[in-house]
Structure 1
Amino acid sequence: MSNRILVVDDDSEIRDVIHVYLRNEGFEVLEAADGRQALELLKTNEVGVIILDVMMPVLNGIQTCIRIRETSMTPIIMLSAKEEDIDKINGLSTGADDYVTKPFSPLELLARVKAQLRRQTFLAKDASSSSVLTAQELSVDKDRHAVTLSGRDIAVTPLEFAILELLLSHPGQVFSANRIYERVWNEPSGHSENTVMVHIRNLREKLEDDPRKPRYIKTVWGVGYKVEK
């Protein structure tokens, strides 16, 4: 796991502040002022986490996130001054792993970066125990870090993979949104219901013929989610 963080924001003062906090914690920092610069840097640099502002010229954060997800599963934390839930959902639906609204505490952002790195380390260690988890036509290959449905590869984000792995590892067991967040994000849940809900919805869009009548990720109303064999 790379200790290099890419900070993408058109506001140089915000980049400077984030840079200082990350550097003081021992991280190497790359900076880009827009999405196009970020994509160029990613061609030649391995990074552990991408901090990506939503509102930028040339190529905005949503467009950049979509482009990154075409080739990379590097964790992405999106920044935005907009606080409406729909904006958060739009950000996460593009494949982002976390979302922080401006103005933000640099210490909070630093904690989110560390949480993403811890989760990636955990997934890498867990992958060493080779196994394939299945439920009906759905398979999660921990070695390949791949998801297949009826033999067809399904593109998922690292967080989506981790949620599927958790649920398939405990068939029939119901996990609340808070518990899923704590197990997958490796940090206290706080107000995590909407975040988990968005990722579950995205998974259903990818896995289900009719997301409103899911075969795989079932909702137990008032309790949480489960997968049955």
Structure 2
Amino acid sequence: MDETYEPHILVVDDARDIREPLGTYLKKHGHRVSLAGDATAARQAMATNAIDLVVLDIMMPGEDGLSLCRWLSSTDGPPVILLTAMADDADRIVGLELGADDYVVKPFNPRELLARIRAILRRVPPSREPVPPGRRAFAGFVHDPAAGMVTTPDGREVLLTTAENRLLVAFLDRPGQVLSRDQLLDLTQGREAKPYDRAIDNHISRLRRKLEPDAKRATIIATEWGGGYRLAADVETLS
């Protein structure tokens, strides 16, 4: 893991008095944190962020933690630490059978939870957004992530920097979705934006110059004022 990488933890718990103090504690100890009060919000967070580990309460209204744990396991999602009540022996066993990596019993000491998070991340290194092996077509371009290049509609091959390649992967994985600067930094560099951080805007500008006939009037990577950026093109996976 490089020194600038900050593991991203998703805390899923319907109890605000648990998830918010826990999120603050984890941030103080070098982690980026997203919070979700239910399974729906958790799925949304995972769709737009590169989550390295999920701290997941079992007992939640609506879809419970065991169901969400099952889905994460079936989709090769990030490691899971379950938060369980003292009497939930059966749930703990089921959770581990469903693929959870560990569990902590409520009420818990946050230092113990932090130690368990660090232990799991040592075994399962945090991962940046994976580069898919296949080529994809969009707006007349073909992106080859393995080669780090795009082929233009007129057949020219244009090389991308590592940052531009990761950025394009993030957009092609989420066509039509508005991605904020923080989300794009998370997906491509594994960190949060610092004050006056213009890194993403600079990478976007360079990528646009390679894709757009007029980068100042971009139509492929659209600016959403106050929101971020969006890939305004259909994406086709090539064989």
Give me the TM-score of the superposition, normalised by structure 2. 0.49
Residue 97 of structure 1 deviates from its aligned partner by 0.4
Residues 1:54 and 2:62 are matched in the alignment: no
Aligned to 1:31: 35
Aligned to 1:43: 47
- Whole-angstrom CA distance in 2 between matches of 1:60 and 1:42: 17
Residue 21 of structure 1 deviates from its aligned partner by 1.3
- Judge conservation of contact 1:4–1:28 (CA < 8 Å) in 2: yes
State how 1:132-211 maps to structure 2 within 5 Å. none
The aligned length equals 123
Residue 103 of structure 1 deviates from its aligned partner by 0.4
Residue 84 of structure 1 deviates from its aligned partner by 4.3
SS in structure 2 opposite 1:43?
A: helix
Aligned to 2:205: none
Residue 93 of structure 1 deviates from its aligned partner by 1.1
Residues 1:115 and 2:105 are matched in the alignment: no
* Matched-pair identity in %: 44
SS in structure 2 opposite 1:121?
A: coil
SS in structure 2 opposite 1:62?
A: helix
Bigger Rg over Cα:
2
State how 1:59-138 maps to structure 2 within 5 Å. 59-121=63-125
User: Which protein has greater RCO, CA pairs closer than 8 Å, 6+ apart?
Assistant: 2
Residue 70 of structure 1 deviates from its aligned partner by 2.1
- Judge conservation of contact 2:20–2:35 (CA < 8 Å) in 1: no
- Whole-angstrom CA distance in 1 between matches of 2:124 and 2:108: 24
- Whole-angstrom CA distance in 1 between matches of 2:64 and 2:94: 13
Paired letter, 2:28: N
| Alpha carbons of structure 1 residues 84 and 38: separation in structure 2 relative to 1, 3 Å | closer
SS in structure 1 opposite 2:67?
A: helix
The alignment yields a C-alpha RMSD, in angstroms, of 1.8
- Judge conservation of contact 1:83–1:101 (CA < 8 Å) in 2: no
Residue 43 of structure 1 deviates from its aligned partner by 1.1
| Alpha carbons of structure 1 residues 8 and 84: separation in structure 2 relative to 1, 3 Å | closer
Match of 2:24 among 20, 24, 31: 20
